[in-house]
Structure 1
Amino acid sequence: MKIKTALLSLALVLGAIPAHAEDVYKVGSTPTGVPFTFLDAKTNTIQGVMVDLIEEVGKDVGFKPEIQAMPFSTLVPALSSGKIDIIAAAMSATPERGKVVDFTNDVYSYGEGLVVPASDDTEYKNFEDMKGKRIGAQIGTNYYNVLDGSGLFEEVRAYDALPDILSDISNGRVAAGVGDYPILGYLLSQGKYPKVKLVKSYVPSVEGSINIAVKKGNTELQEKINKSLAAIKEDGRLDKILKKWGL
């Protein structure tokens, strides 16, 4: 009788243990890409559109995302070296990046925004209109590469984060800055940079889309995420996430 009871107890214990633990994927995100990814001071965690999205993808595909905060310029190297498994940030699928990582289908498309001092009433429409000025962009972005390679400017200053650009515009260190339009719009809407404004007349020339990235050659994961993204778009989950963050 004691043996039967012991065996029953063992069976109950084993039955309570899942057949396999849920896979955990390390996901690289930036703490300065609000509203796509940003550090929430209240919870000390990375939050935003791409965090909500990768959590939905994880539910579909069958993994738990472990969000890791890192500077934008280190995301691709971290993925290539295996320090992280996925990039979920405000990153676009440029041809240059596509040589070293594999991107999913588009998540959200937009162009760059131009920010200048609030006192500057010039109706800039393109980069040529700002020829000879000192301008800033985030290092590691396609915007910086395009500006730096144009030969139009006195200096293209590199920054780690967009808030640093806005601060330098406020203090007169640079005449303008370029970055993701939705992020710049969100930052300025918070009222922390009253001396800076978005140029309404400006027409974006470096349009792109946000994409999730996986390690080069990981076709299986890429296809699984693409399948999930299609479902998330179809059933309205993506629209719900975008609306939550004001996009």
Structure 2
Amino acid sequence: MSRFSFSRRTALILCAASTISSILPAARAQGTAPAYNVGATATGVPFTFLDVKTNTIQGMMVDTVTAVGKAAGFGVNVQQTGFAALVPSLTTGKIDIISAAMLKTPARQQVVDFSDPVYSYGEGLIVKSDDNKAYASLDELKGEVVGAQVGTVFLDMLNKKGIFKEVRSYDSVADMTRDLALGRIRAGLGDQPIIAYQLRQNAFQGVKLAAGYKPVNVGDVCLVVRKGDAEMLARINKAIARIKADGTLAGIVQKWGM
């Protein structure tokens, strides 16, 4: 080997080593952000829903948890989970966070921990399109057959009321509104912003929101974590405060017409 080729090879090696040494600190500084599994439903438009074009879960709460993750320094893997399975999936470790239209209630707080609120709303009363009766309260439906989605606080409301001929439970709001339009039930309860959004999109036929009804079960929508996970809760709450302060959350709410 000539002195020239040896010197050239040595220079190349030193150059490569210099390049690698300059890259490694930056890579270490950047690190790899952890990614958490997030449970969301496919039937909670505009909070969470399945986008058939991309086969992914989208919606206001998906955007919110993504923004929270960005502010907190972690990634999210959003997974389709039935509403009734959200809490069991969280407590058994299948998911790490719930981001859905799940209202904070005392009963749920015994099992899981809720973040600071990201949105607040109450129930909407759904009736047939040709039902023009003014419903000031649920008392005016005494003796009727009514319904709500399984796993919701609205189904508990109806059962606890104890004045109805029958309370039927449904896997989805779409199933409930279908029965309502067919006259199988007199009225149903559901998430007011979800119903209003889907009615604007003509997703439900033959039904409407009772205009005079005033919700009595107004609650907060939050991100949900496992009971006792104080570190995760504090991290999420700090991120929520940040996206509220910089206007990110307000922009998300406006984007989804809520």
Q: Structure 1 length as normaliser, TM-score?
A: 0.95
1:113 equivalent to 2:124? Answer: yes
Q: 1:187 aligned to 179, 193, 198, which one?
A: 198
Structure 1 Cα separation of the partners of residues 176 and 183 of structure 2: 10
Alignment of 1:227-242 (within 5 A): 227-242=238-253
Alignment of 1:1-247 (within 5 A): 1=10, 4-5=14-15, 7-8=17-18, 10-11=20-21, 14-15=24-25, 17-18=27-28, 20-247=31-258
Structure 2 Cα separation of the partners of residues 60 and 16 of structure 1: 20
**1:26: Cα distance to partner?**
0.4
C-alpha contact (below 8 Å) 2:71/2:243 kept by paired residues: no
Structure 2 Cα separation of the partners of residues 43 and 18 of structure 1: 34
Structure 1 Cα separation of the partners of residues 100 and 35 of structure 2: 18
C-alpha contact (below 8 Å) 2:174/2:204 kept by paired residues: no
C-alpha contact (below 8 Å) 2:47/2:61 kept by paired residues: yes
Amino acid paired to 2:126: V
Amino acid paired to 1:11: S
* Closer/same/farther in 2, CA of residues 105 and 7 from structure 1, 3 Å limit: same
Structure 2 Cα separation of the partners of residues 232 and 7 of structure 1: 42
Structure 2 Cα separation of the partners of residues 18 and 136 of structure 1: 55
Structure 1 residues not aligned, in runs of 5+: none
Structure 1 runs of 4+ with >6 Å offset = none
Query: Any idea what the Cα deviations from partners look like across 1:14-51, whole Å, max 9, x if unmatched?
Result: 45644532100000001100001111111111111111
Amino acid paired to 2:115: T
Structure 2 Cα separation of the partners of residues 9 and 231 of structure 1: 37
Structure 2 Cα separation of the partners of residues 52 and 3 of structure 1: 47
SS at match of 1:116: strand
**1:5: Cα distance to partner?**
4.9
Structure 2 residues not aligned, in runs of 5+: 1-9
SS at match of 1:140: coil
Aligned-pair Cα RMSD in Å = 1.5
Structure 1 Cα separation of the partners of residues 130 and 61 of structure 2: 34
Amino acid paired to 1:28: G
Q: Which has the larger radius of gyration?
A: 2
Query: Any idea what the Cα deviations from partners look like across 1:106-145, whole Å, max 9, x if unmatched?
Result: 1111110000111111111111110111111011111111
**1:190: Cα distance to partner?**
1.2
SS at match of 2:66: helix
Amino acid paired to 1:234: A
State which drifts further: 146-155 or 82-91: 146-155
Amino acid paired to 1:238: L
State which drifts further: 18-27 or 41-50: 18-27
Query: Any idea what the Cα deviations from partners look like across 1:153-193, whole Å, max 9, x if unmatched?
Result: 11111111111111111122211110110000011111233
